């Protein structure tokens, strides 16, 4: 049973009651992430996420996590480009405790100068750890290749320079601007009493108010044609190729998911079979979709020995060209639909995954797409719709790319891409 309600202060609440489970998942979503930032305060959303765990007027940092872990629960958070989510999963008998902890973190965090300085060191180490991950470096580099100077291209963690610059006043001012009830959603899924849940939530969140009404609005960034290379001393060359996709809320995403699965969604996909299995020149190759407000991208990823880079790119382009002219049989269409439905339903097997799905949907789209709704949309995919979506996406070809590694001839790489591949200078003063 689903329900969406709203408190007088503007906080939206999405509820999914499941009476046959013994758990409860509670997520506090705020429509704020690195896309809301600029080059001066980049990383502040992620920094705030960390700081809300550093202690309140009522609990120490240890008390916050211990209160949940002592009852067998889990507490965590994440920051993305467009949202931050703080969440707790526990036995349903501890619903009030979960709401108490989340509200205490939100309203009573201390933000002591000492804790701020300590956490700067923690996050700088997190940035350094990300630098050691070629996939993370590639993802941030491809965001720049795709969206350039738009704030959506900013890294979620920020930079060492920006993180070192954060002050208490800057943090508190940012929170007052974006951490407001009108910008937020409380998502609850599990076994609870639907009749009393609103009054229980009001007890903890009913007094939330703000002087600011800075409702998040997003640009509509153009997808660019940049091709960037970053030198890094690693064995493999990591490659990401970008194709135009769809933004959040576009129902054409379902036929696009079907097409993407055929091209690079798994071990039976075209790219995996042709480039890994037949040619044996890589271990990992796949494609995936990323959708944001007003924009979206399809990425093809592979990691391989640099000597095979041009061959791999030429093969990908060749297979992509064939794919845009593919004829999908009735039998293949039925099987592909079943594959998507199976993956989707299996992904909703826990209260936490359903809480995440509901919270994100209401935060950005202000509605719930029920499993029944999604399955109906998948079942309604036609061959004509697939052709229409193909024309809007894969048929446009590779628009941008990024590469991380070394021992690469940029001239040969440029010839394979068909455009100049530019060596990118890291903003943290590392020439690459």
Q: Which two tokens stand for residue 88?
A: 């707790």
Q: Residue 336 corresponds to which tokens in the numbers above?
A: 């592909």
Residue 430 neighbours by CB distance under 10 Å: 11
Q: What span, in angstroms and rounded, lies between the C-alpha atoms of 169 and 382?
A: 55
Which regions of the chain carry the CATH code 3.30.830.10?
Answer: 2-205, 227-423
The answer to whether the CB of 188 falls within 8 A of the CB of 14 is: yes
Give percent of the chain above pLDDT 70: 98
Q: pLDDT band for 14, please (50, 70, 90 cuts).
A: very high
Percent of the chain with pLDDT over 90: 92
pLDDT tens digit sequence for 28-40:
999 999 999 999 9
Predicted pLDDT of residue 69: 97
Give the pLDDT band (50/70/90) at residue 212: confident
pLDDT band (50, 70, 90) for residue 425? confident
d(CA 225, CA 219): 18
- Number of other residues whose CB lies within 10 A of the CB of residue 188: 25
Residues 190-212: what's their mean pLDDT?
Answer: 94
* Cα(83)–Cα(71) distance, integer angstroms: 28
- Asked whether 205 and 7 are in contact (CB, 8 A), the reply is yes
pLDDT confidence band for 217 (50 / 70 / 90): confident
Tokens 């999604």 correspond to what residue?
Answer: 374
DSSP state of 425: P
Token code pair at residue 181: 């009830």
pLDDT tens digit sequence for 103-147: 999 999 999 999 999 999 999 999 999 999 999 999 999 999 999
Q: In what order do the strands lie in the sheet with 84-91?
A: 2-6, 12-17, 184-190, 23-30, 84-91, 74-79
- Please name the fold of domain 227-423: Cytochrome Bc1 Complex; Chain A, domain 1 (3.30.830)
From start to end of 275-333, where are the E strands?
284-292, 295-304
What's residue 426's pLDDT? 67
Name the residues annotated as catalytic. Answer: 49
Torsion on CA atoms 140, 142, 147, 148, rounded to nearest 10: 80
Instruction: Report the relative pairing of strands 84-91 and 74-79 from DSSP bridges.
Output: antiparallel
CA distance 37 to 400: 24
Q: Mean pLDDT over residues 244-259, rounded? A: 96
Q: Rounded to the nearest 10 degrees, how much is the dihedral formed by the CA atoms of 55, 59, 60, 65?
A: -90
* 25, pLDDT greater than 90: yes
SS3 242: strand
Distances (CA, A) of 131 to 67, 217, 231, 232: 34, 30, 12, 10
Cα–Cα distance, 194 to 186 (Å, whole number):
14
Which tens digit of pLDDT belongs to each residue from 155-164? 999 999 999 9
The DSSP code for 276 is: I
Q: What mean pLDDT comes out for the span 295-300?
A: 98
Q: What is the pLDDT of residue 214?
A: 67
Whose tokens are 């501890």? That residue is: 94
Strand duo 422-423 + 23-30: pairing:
unpaired
Using 50, 70 and 90 to split pLDDT, how confident is the model at 397?
very high
For residue 1, pLDDT over 90 is answered with no
Indicate whether 429 pLDDT > 50: no
Q: How far is CA 264 from CA 87, 242, 319, 387, in A?
A: 32, 13, 11, 18
Under CATH, to which class is 2-205 assigned?
alpha beta
pLDDT at 34: 97
**What is the separation of C-alpha 345 from the centre of its chain, rounded to a whole number of angstroms?**
20
> Cβ atoms within 10 A of the Cβ of 257, count?
21
pLDDT of residue 369: 87
Which residues face 185 on adjacent strands? 12, 29
Residue 430 is predicted with a pLDDT of 37
pLDDT at residue 302 is higher than 70: yes
The pLDDT of residue 99 is 98
| Sheet with strand 422-423: strands edge to edge | 284-292, 295-304, 237-244, 400-405, 227-231, 422-423
Give the model confidence (pLDDT) of 233-247 as tens digits.
Answer: 999 999 999 999 999
Please provide the average confidence, as pLDDT, over all residues in the chain.
Answer: 94
Residue 266 has pLDDT above 60, yes or no: yes
Is the pLDDT assigned to residue 356 strictly greater than 70? yes
């Amino acid at each position: 049973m689903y329900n969406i309600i709203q408190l007088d202060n503007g906080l939206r609440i999405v509820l999914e009651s499941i009476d046959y489970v013994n758990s409860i998942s509670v997520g506090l979503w705020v429509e704020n992430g690195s896309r809301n930032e600029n080059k001066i305060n980049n990383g502040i959303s992620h920094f705030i996420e960390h700081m809300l765990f550093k202690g309140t007027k009522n609990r120490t940092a240890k008390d916050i996590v211990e209160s949940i872990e002592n009852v067998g629960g889990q507490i965590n958070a994440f920051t993305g480009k467009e949202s931050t989510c703080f969440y707790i999963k526990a036995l349903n008998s501890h619903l009030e405790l979960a709401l108490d902890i989340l509200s205490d973190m939100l309203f009573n965090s201390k933000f002591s100068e000492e804790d701020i300085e300590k956490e700067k060191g923690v996050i700088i180490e997190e940035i350094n750890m990300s630098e050691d991950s070629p996939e993370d470096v590639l993802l941030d580099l491809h965001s720049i290749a795709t969206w350039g100077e738009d704030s959506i291209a900013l890294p979620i963690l920020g930079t060492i320079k920006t993180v070192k610059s954060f002050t208490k006043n800057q943090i508190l001012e940012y929170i007052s601007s974006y951490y407001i009830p009108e910008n937020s959603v409380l998502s609850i899924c599990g076994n609870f009493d639907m009749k009393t849940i609103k009054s229980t939530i009001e007890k903890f969140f009913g007094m939330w108010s703000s002087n600011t009404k800075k409702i998040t609005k997003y640009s509509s960034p153009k997808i660019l044609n940049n091709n960037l290379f970053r030198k890094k001393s690693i064995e493999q060359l990591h490659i990401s190729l970008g194709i135009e996709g769809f933004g959040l809320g576009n129902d054409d995403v379902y036929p696009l998911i079907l097409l993407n699965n055929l091209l690079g969604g798994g071990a039976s996909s075209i790219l995996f079979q042709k480039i890994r299995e037949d040619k044996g020149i890589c271990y990992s190759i796949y494609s995936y979709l990323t959708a944001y407000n007003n924009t979206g991208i399809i990425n093809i990823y592979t990691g391989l020995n640099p000597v095979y880079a041009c061959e791999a790119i030429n093969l990908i382009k060749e297979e992509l060209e064939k794919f845009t002219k593919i004829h999908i049989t009735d039998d293949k269409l039925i099987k592909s639909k079943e594959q998507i439905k199976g993956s989707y339903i299996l992904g909703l097997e826990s209260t936490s995954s359903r809480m995440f799905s509901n919270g994100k949907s209401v935060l950005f789209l202000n509605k719930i797409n029920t499993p029944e709704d999604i399955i109906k949309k998948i079942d309604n995919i036609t061959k004509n719709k697939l052709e229409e979506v193909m024309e809007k996406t894969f048929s446009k070809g590779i628009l941008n790319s990024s590469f991380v590694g070394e021992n690469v001839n940029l001239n040969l790489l440029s010839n394979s891409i068909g455009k100049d591949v530019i060596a990118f200078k890291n903003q943290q003063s590392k020439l690459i």
